[in-house]
Structure 1
Amino acid sequence: MFVGDTNFIITYWNRGAEKFYSWKQSEAIGRHSDELLRTIFPKPIEEIRAELLVKDCWEGELTRTKADGVQVIVASRWSLRRDSQGTPIAILETSNDISGRKRWEEQIQALNKELANRSLALEASNKELEAFAYSISHDLRAPLRHMSGFAELLRKSAATSLDEKGKRYISMIMEASNRMGCLIDDLLAFSRIGRAEAHKSVVNLEQLVHEAVAEVRQDVTQRKIVWKLNSFPDCYGDRSMLRLALINLISNAAKFTRTRPQAEVEIGCTDQGKEELVVFVRDNGVGFDMRYSDKLFGVFQRLHPQEAFEGTGIGLATVQRVVHRHGGRVWAEGKVDGGATFYFSLCKSTGVN
């Protein structure tokens, strides 16, 4: 704290000012405060002086230089003192050091700006990658159809002239082209999830689960699977996207229980709080090693050999993308030869605008 006259000549300099600015009282008194402290104002001093005369006070941030040359930023408050006739006679100034806070604010602003730039770059990169994947997948369809079609014609027209080895080669070509067709279809579906506009509404989750199970059961009619379906509340989201995610998870459970004499699949829900619910799909299948759980939701990532279990390695990545589009989380727990449980979170319908 210090006091100056109306010309900003210092008349009083307390110990706090002496300690903070490193100017002794004898060095400061009689000096012009702005010259002594090399004050940098946020706006012209004439405007500050005019506000001070009208309101008898002024508050703002000032940049000043201490005796050792170090610049500091202070939150300063000026109070105008008047005599009995109302004539201004002195200005009392109190200041608090906010240099550290301002440095943190500047660092946070710089980090936020960098983060925003990175987010924009990542968003642009993702859009380019999705457009590339869509274009490549779409363009691969025509030559693949030709490959598959001519292989089928060759198998029919040359069936009598081919030996067993030749027939096996054609079958391998057909199987490979069919697998590539599935990869392309899944890749296109995965790309569309990121590009499609989400149409969110209140969804009857129980009905949706029963629909997804009914569709998967059509593909496993030759197997005996014990299905356990719990009750579900309504949720909020894009119905078609959620249906795709459920079908992928339930198909996954059906596939990896194929080696079990008695396959069991349970689909349920846990209430996590006022705004979130968690859906799970649990099976008693071959499970997986938790050490590799981080790879489960990657595109084309597989923890089991293609020869043992068919698939393209895109289904779980699609589930994750759907869940992320809904602002949720997806994770899994499993044990080798001890089954697996996949979880994802959703918003409830209550309290959602």
Structure 2
Amino acid sequence: MNQSNNGTYRKLRRTVTLGVCGILLLFALFIVYVVRNERINRLHGLAAHASAATSVNEVLLSRVLVDIDRFLLKTRLLLKQGKADESLPGSLQGELAANPELVDLLIVDRDGVVSHWTGAGDKPVVHDHPSYTYHFNRSEDHLFVSPPMPSSISEGEYEVSFSRPYFDDEQHFAGTVVAVVSIDRLAEIFAGIERAPGSTLVVMNNDNQVWFRNPRVPGDSGTRLREVLKPYRDKRQRSGRVISPFDGKAYWVVEKRMADFPLRILTSAEMTSVMAAERAMIAWAIALFLVVSSVLFVLLYLIRRQMDDLERGENALQKSHDLLTKLSKQVPGVIYQFRLFPDGRSCYPFASCGIEDIYEVTPEQVREDAALTIARIHPEDRNNVISSVWESAAAMTAWHQEYRVMLPKQGLRWLRGESRPERLEDNSVLWHGFITDITERKLYELAAQELNRDFNTFLDNTSDYVYFKDQDSRIRFCSKPLATVSGYDNWLELVGKHDSEIFQEDIARIYFEEEQPIFKDGNPLINKIDPYYDLHGQLRWVNTNKWPVFDCDGKTVVGLFGISRDVTEQKRIEEELRRSNVDLEQFAYSVSHDMRQPLRMITGHLQLLERALRDTLDEESRTNMAFALDGARRMDAMIVSLLDYSRVGRKTEPKTWLESKEALDEAMVFLQPNIVGTQAEIDVRGEWPTVFASRDELSRLFLNLIGNALKYREADIQPRIEISSDVDSVNWRVSIRDNGIGIDPTQIDRLFQFFSRLQLRSCYEGTGMGLALCRRIVEHHGGNIRAESQVEGYGSTFSFELPISKPPQQHTGESFYE
């Protein structure tokens, strides 16, 4: 069916449907009008009945309240005429007997004291009662009606008070006349009035506090109702539908304000009958509507059935086409049908819009001839692709191929095609399949191949032991040297093995234990010296570094990567160098110590000789003798300096964790006499961390550097020394800045050499070994020291830097054998 016929059927079907729907809509509106009109008529009748009942209740209640107010006015007149004592008691008792709703009558003077009352028992106290306090605070002559209050006479009952003030001859407040009315008795008066079934009466004040409800319900008196009705259209009456808070039923309520009293009367009629009639009417209307609707829909069904049969085929075809179009847009690449005719011609009967990205052609361009897409296949791949198509057609097997194309805009791209053939009646073959762009995947594959090649080359040619272990400490991959030293021909043989399956038990245990903190806490192992045995059983050593490998969450350790480098030869050289240094230090100490003995003898005999020949020596001989003694003393001081230098790291306290500030304080105690003598100002600032150091060596370092700052100064200038400390995650830096004589920048390189002096001995004493000793101490702690001075005469700064962490422990041969 062509497009115009489809439009005709749709238009006709829409017209018929709209006609039926219009008839149903008009019929539904008519039924709604009838039901609504009936409901309004019933509500009007209900409202008229409730309004009439309200007027009757208002008249009755007004009579009772007017009688009470008339009595109050009469009693006030008697009080004003001075006849209270002779006629008031009888009047009170008569009024109480004539009005059963009254429970008490009281006369209250201006002080709130009851002078007359009709009740029994103790005199009531009313000085704080609303009926007294209301009039006491006002000069107006108004009737006051109190809110409902629990009865002081009958438990469980409520009462209200009516009161009017009375005044003396000068119109001053003299007291009140109070009538106490029982709400329950008042309700009994209205209970005797005949009511329509389902109707109720509620009397309440203007504050929405209920006096009583007929019929009565527990707790009705004193209940405060919320406003639910619309505001008054006139001054006295309003009505509406409400849900009763007492029984939860729906009522039509007419509320009327009393003209002379602050009260409202609510007469309500239960809407059960109205609602039941309304439901019956609605049910009848729905049934009628359903019958009419059914008839019309049957007619509509018969009419549309004929049109649906004609259009169904077209719709099914259109839906299939739309579905295929939507799916093809979501699938990467192109979904296509490729047809190959026996004479060699080819075309694409169907191709999704993805062909514009795959071949940079439109579906229309290749619907009759596929030559344009064949021409864009890479020349080196074209024959292979064409041959594979003919082979698939001959054997009727699935076609799949990866090949390259040269596109005008995108250039070289890789494609992958897959399809299944179907032979048609004219002996042509139709393939159904898809082609996707796999250029990115191809690039990744080539990159992965190159990376794998480079990685394997690295593993095969590196001299280090490289390995990756999973979270169970089993080998995932490793370098060829590790396989060779373990007795395997190929590193693939080690995959999945534990250290205990590769190395001796004691060696495997060392490796296993050192890896546990890595898996548990994620802390790397840096520069640890580990033992191992080579193929000949010889003990050798490696410098090991192991790092954790985290999961994608960055927290969970899933493995470790390690590199171990053979340092056996380096360790042997270091051990020989260490022994050589120890021998040299011992030799220097022995020489220095042994040289002091003959030097002391020379000095002693020179002193004896000087004293013995003091009177016979001429001036030149005395000078020569003094030079000899001074040289001997300086030689002794230099030997002592050499001894101190040789003791660093050998005869000093061992390294331990200590507070760096304590070492500074210890040095300051020793320097206190010099500080006081020079009146030096010393400023200590910064953060002073806990460090791993030798206490006496660190104190000696501060002693020398601060002592130099106090010594090398101009005589008439007060020393000012600034000692600052700074800490980062790795190092501790200390700077000591002074305002002394400074240093010639060209001579700074000589400062830390043995017996190096930049100043005359006659001006500043010393052996020239102090800064060399400082350098020795700093280097013994793995740090460095330097000096800075811009120009001579403007002070200098000495800075040293030490690591704040404990150096990594290393396995030695002795500890291993232990």
TM-score by length of 1: 0.62
Distance 2:570 2:795 in 1: 40
- Give CA deviations for 1:33-92 in whole Å, capped at 9, x if unaligned: xxxxxxxxxxxxxxxxxxxxxxxxxx9969xxxxxxxxxxx98979xxxxxxxxxxxxxx
Query: Which ranges in structure 2 are unaligned for 5 or more consecutive residues?
Result: 1-477, 482-488, 494-563, 810-818
1:310 pairs with 2:748 = no
Q: Which structure: larger Rg?
A: 2
Distance 2:682 2:793 in 1: 19
Distance 1:350 1:60 in 2: 32
Match of 1:242 in 2: 698
The amino acid across from 1:279 in the alignment is: V
Work out which of the residue numbers 123, 126, 129 in structure 1 matches 2:578: 123
- 1:231 offset after TM fit, Å? 5.2
Contact residue 332 and residue 341 of structure 1 kept, 8 A? yes
The amino acid across from 1:167 in the alignment is: R
Match of 2:708 in 1: 252
Match of 1:47 in 2: none
Aligned CA distance change for structure 1 residues 123 and 301 (closer, same or farther; 3 Å): farther
- 1:215 offset after TM fit, Å? 1.5
The amino acid across from 2:802 in the alignment is: L
Match of 1:344 in 2: 800
Match of 2:661 in 1: 206
- 1:177 offset after TM fit, Å? 1.6
Q: Which has the higher contact order (CA 8 A, sep 6+)?
A: 1
SS at match of 1:181: helix
Distance 1:149 1:114 in 2: 52
1:155 pairs with 2:610 = yes
Aligned CA distance change for structure 1 residues 224 and 164 (closer, same or farther; 3 Å): farther
Work out which of the residue numbers 744, 750, 755 in structure 2 matches 1:289: 744
Aligned CA distance change for structure 1 residues 180 and 348 (closer, same or farther; 3 Å): same
The amino acid across from 1:241 in the alignment is: E
The amino acid across from 2:602 in the alignment is: M
Work out which of the residue numbers 159, 166, 178 in structure 1 matches 2:633: 178
- Give CA deviations for 1:243-268 in whole Å, capped at 9, x if unaligned: 11111111111121244522222222
1:134 pairs with 2:589 = yes
Work out which of the residue numbers 688, 700, 703 in structure 2 matches 1:233: 688
Distance 1:310 1:351 in 2: 38
Contact residue 678 and residue 718 of structure 2 kept, 8 A? no
The amino acid across from 2:801 in the alignment is: S
SS at match of 1:267: strand
- 1:117 offset after TM fit, Å? 5.3
Work out which of the residue numbers 244, 255, 261 in structure 1 matches 2:717: 261
- 1:153 offset after TM fit, Å? 1.6
The residue correspondences of 1:296-335 to structure 2 (distance < 5 A) are 296-335=751-790
- Give CA deviations for 1:127-155 in whole Å, capped at 9, x if unaligned: 23212211110111111111111122222
SS at match of 1:313: coil
Contact residue 202 and residue 235 of structure 1 kept, 8 A? yes
Contact residue 202 and residue 349 of structure 1 kept, 8 A? no
Contact residue 323 and residue 330 of structure 1 kept, 8 A? yes
Contact residue 736 and residue 799 of structure 2 kept, 8 A? yes
Match of 2:678 in 1: 223
Match of 1:31 in 2: none
The amino acid across from 2:746 in the alignment is: R
The residue correspondences of 1:78-117 to structure 2 (distance < 5 A) are 115-116=570-571
Distance 2:725 2:480 in 1: 55
Distance 1:155 1:174 in 2: 10
Aligned CA distance change for structure 1 residues 163 and 219 (closer, same or farther; 3 Å): farther
Distance 1:162 1:222 in 2: 39
SS at match of 1:304: coil
Distance 2:680 2:620 in 1: 38
Moved more, 158-167 or 315-324: 158-167
Contact residue 257 and residue 264 of structure 1 kept, 8 A? no
Contact residue 331 and residue 343 of structure 1 kept, 8 A? yes
- 1:116 offset after TM fit, Å? 4.6
SS at match of 2:765: coil
Aligned CA distance change for structure 1 residues 323 and 224 (closer, same or farther; 3 Å): same
Aligned CA distance change for structure 1 residues 60 and 329 (closer, same or farther; 3 Å): closer
Contact residue 212 and residue 247 of structure 1 kept, 8 A? yes
1:193 pairs with 2:648 = yes
Distance 1:349 1:246 in 2: 20
1:144 pairs with 2:612 = no
- Give CA deviations for 1:304-352 in whole Å, capped at 9, x if unaligned: 3434432212111111121122222212211322211111123448999
- 1:240 offset after TM fit, Å? 0.9
Contact residue 660 and residue 690 of structure 2 kept, 8 A? yes
- Give CA deviations for 1:135-176 in whole Å, capped at 9, x if unaligned: 110111111111111122222222222222222222222221
Distance 1:60 1:215 in 2: 59
The amino acid across from 1:317 in the alignment is: A
Match of 1:270 in 2: 726
1:166 pairs with 2:621 = yes
Contact residue 652 and residue 694 of structure 2 kept, 8 A? no
The amino acid across from 2:767 in the alignment is: T
Distance 2:571 2:758 in 1: 35
Aligned CA distance change for structure 1 residues 164 and 331 (closer, same or farther; 3 Å): same
TM-score by length of 2: 0.28
- 1:227 offset after TM fit, Å? 2.2
Aligned residues: CA RMSD: 3.4
Distance 1:274 1:60 in 2: 34
The residue correspondences of 1:40-59 to structure 2 (distance < 5 A) are none
Aligned CA distance change for structure 1 residues 275 and 60 (closer, same or farther; 3 Å): closer
SS at match of 1:345: strand
The residue correspondences of 1:34-45 to structure 2 (distance < 5 A) are none
The amino acid across from 2:684 in the alignment is: L
Distance 1:262 1:205 in 2: 27
Aligned residue-pair number:
254
Distance 2:784 2:479 in 1: 45
- 1:125 offset after TM fit, Å? 3.4
Moved more, 182-191 or 221-230: 221-230
Aligned CA distance change for structure 1 residues 219 and 241 (closer, same or farther; 3 Å): same
The amino acid across from 1:242 in the alignment is: L
Aligned CA distance change for structure 1 residues 199 and 121 (closer, same or farther; 3 Å): closer
Distance 1:113 1:261 in 2: 58
Distance 1:129 1:312 in 2: 22
Contact residue 688 and residue 726 of structure 2 kept, 8 A? no
Distance 1:164 1:345 in 2: 53
Aligned CA distance change for structure 1 residues 122 and 339 (closer, same or farther; 3 Å): farther
Distance 1:350 1:191 in 2: 24
Distance 2:579 2:677 in 1: 47
Query: Which ranges in structure 1 are unaligned for 5 or more consecutive residues?
Result: 1-58, 63-73, 79-107
- 1:183 offset after TM fit, Å? 0.8
- 1:192 offset after TM fit, Å? 0.6
